[in-house]
Chains A and B, each alone.
Chain A
Amino acid sequence: MSNISVQLRQLSIGYKQKHQQKLVAQGIDATIAEGQLTCLLGANGIGKSTLLRTLAAFQPPLQGEILLDGKPLGHYSDSQLSRRVGVVLTEKPHIRNMSVSELVGLGRAPYTGFWGRLNHEDRTIVNESLSQVGIQSLAHRMVDTLSDGERQKVMIAKALAQQTPIIYLDEPTAFLDFPSKVEMMQLLRRLAHQMQKTVFLSTHDFELALQVADVLWLMEPQSLHIGTARQLADSGVLSRFVEREGIAFDANTLRVQI
């Protein structure tokens, strides 16, 4: 059994508005394991992004708590957290005149000094991060000339340079062509397994997620189902999630039939 990296206790997520709370999901009890690829599935608007934002401490939980290595998220300072959790987001930075290695170098910010100067060790780490993602050849390209897939990889290299045990990714396979989606998922799975990283991502690529994920989280309006693809298929949760008029799910082969 792998070590528990992130623990969610009676977690309620959502937004605080002026006088009321907009509750997105509540009472989540779950753990995310180290060295595994966990994929978060769910319909649009179900709260996947809200969950990720809450996990990354971008917004506070409405109730309950999130423990990182047994310590509540709120007890970490900004700079401590920047060494524990790395993120890859859907927002794409519009930056001109910045090379890929410069951007990945910014991933070293939690470790660099006042001026953000990279020392020899930082540069070595940047190069290693680039090669782990397989984009050394892009090192001197300008960020604004990259394709969506390339940019996504650069941001993953940034997260690696950040050397955080946990990496959260918000829809890393969106906007990619099919081979790139597969390649991206395989890459993330490899990082989780080989580097013992906790990789947690949201995705809409249902079949792909079933094949590569170690653990699946399926968000539904009132509940969160957690398990391997096999377990969720056998319990019928996956069928309920995808099946509708004209769409069938084969629980044996984990395939969607149209």
Chain B
Amino acid sequence: MKKTLLLILVLMLAIVALLVLNLLLGTVRIPFATVWRILLGSEGESEIWRNIILSSRLPQALTALVAGAGLAVSGLQMQTVFRNPLAGPSVLGISNGASLGVACVVLLSGSLGGVALSRLGYLGDAAISLAAIVGSLLVMGFIVWVASKVKGHVTLLIIGVMIGYLATAIIGVLKFFSAEEDIRAYVVWGLGSFGRVSGGQMLLFVCLMSVLLPLSMLTVKAMNLYMLGNGYARNLGLNVRRTRVLLILSSGTLVAIVTAYCGPIMFIGLAVPHLARAIFRTSDHRILMPASLLTGGALALFCNLVARMPGFEGVLPVNSVTALIGAPIVAGVLFRKRKENYE
């Protein structure tokens, strides 16, 4: 127990350090003291620097922190629901639903509405977020409906994956009929970024997540029982079907909102729960949930930092970085654990 608290503390410190680094590092060098004064709101600092810190680096860092936490928690919930270590937030086709929503808006607005949304700026961003949320919630609604009908979680998993394929196929068809620049706008969205959310939207995003994340923590006892398998869980008084629907709702809503604001961010949702299990050496969700939340936030901040390391022209797509960093970590963790009969 002491060790767990210590690890949590270390993670929190890591997050603070990464937040500071995210504010400090970038193509433009700004001294630490100045960053600090800008954050405290003192006047008289360079307007450009103020802008870089307050409208770019700070929102980006906060977005990364919250999005990473949300994806990690969502991934852990999915892995528990499906009792499958390969499950992640994208597995039920919910993020594909978001993509489909965005594809409809971005690709069709040009050809049908006559105005390419990609050129509408702020309004376009809002429309994209909305489309992503609508798309993913529709898919989630369908999945929840299926979940209340079918018994086996493997069946549900397969249906989810099929929905994913279906969405991707429809997007393919849409692309075929779309103008080149609209496709480009869609592809850029699909690369994922923590930097797209700005100002009021960022605030809304952070507020939404700071309500949803604590809410998702309320499922820990149910998740612990759910792990035992349907029979045992039920015998211990758990309503298995309701728990499954609740977990999918919680996990799906988190993914929907993160995807709406950041695009489909790969890998964090899949990798972080494994990382958290390896670090904390427990399967108790009372520890794993907060642990995943913190680890997810930290990893996203780290990836964001790497993505715009000085030396890279512009900013790398976050998705490449999350996979580049995440994949070896997960593989390493699993490889080291091979002796403990990892099944």
Listed in ascending order, the chain A residues whose CB lies under 8 Å from chain B are 56, 58, 78-79, 81-83, 85-87, 89, 91, 93-98, 102-103, 106-107, 109-110, 112, 114-117, 142, 144-145, 155, 158, 162
Contacts and interface: CB of A to CB of B under 8 A. Distances in A.
A86 B277 contact: no
The 6 closest A-B pairs by CB, nearest first: A82-B237, A116-B221, A79-B237, A109-B236, A97-B283, A87-B235
B228 A86 contact: no
B225 interface: yes
A80 to B, nearest CB: 8
A203 to B, nearest CB: 18
A85 B235 contact: yes
Interface in B217-241: 218, 220-221, 224-225, 227-232, 234-239
Contact of A144 (B224, B235, B341): B341
Given A95-B283, A97-B282, A112-B221, 6 more contacts: A78-B238, A85-B235, A93-B229, A95-B227, A97-B283, A115-B220
Contacts of A115: 220-221, 286
Given A58-B231, A96-B340, A96-B342, A110 B237 contact: yes
Contacts of B218: 114
Interface in B187-241: 218, 220-221, 224-225, 227-232, 234-239
Interface residues of B, number: 28
Contacts of B235: 56, 82, 85-87
A29 B331 CA distance: 57
18 contacts: A58-B231, A82-B237, A85-B235, A86-B235, A87-B231, A93-B227, A96-B283, A97-B283, A98-B283, A98-B284, A106-B225, A106-B236, A109-B221, A109-B238, A115-B286, A116-B225, A155-B232, A162-B236
A102 to B, nearest CB: 7
A238 to B, nearest CB: 31
Contacts of B43: none
B83 A94 contact: yes
B313 interface: no
A-side binding surface: helix, strand, loop or mixed? Answer: loop
B343 interface: yes
Contacts of A116: 220-221, 224-225, 286
A160 B342 CA distance: 29
Contact of B224 (A91, A97, A106, A162): A106
B239 to A, nearest CB: 6
Contact of A82 (B236, B277, B284, B340): B236
A97 B277 contact: yes
A114 B219 CA distance: 9
B237 A81 contact: yes
Contacts of A94: 83, 343
A122 to B, nearest CB: 13
Contacts of B224: 106, 109, 116
B281 interface: yes
Contacts of A79: 237
Contact of B237 (A56, A78, A102): A78
Contacts of A145: 340-341
Nearest to B225: A109
A112 B222 CA distance: 12
B236 A110 contact: yes
Nearest to B286: A115
A91 B221 contact: no
B334 to A, nearest CB: 11
A58 B234 contact: yes
Contacts of A96: 277, 283, 340, 342-343
A170 B235 CA distance: 13
A30 B164 CA distance: 51
A93 B237 contact: no
A113 to B, nearest CB: 8
Interface string B265-304: 0000000000001000111101000000000000000000
A91 B228 CA distance: 9
B288 to A, nearest CB: 9
B228 A95 contact: yes
B298 to A, nearest CB: 21
A93 B232 CA distance: 9
B82 to A, nearest CB: 12
A85 B340 CA distance: 34
Nearest to A103: B228
Contacts of A58: 231, 234
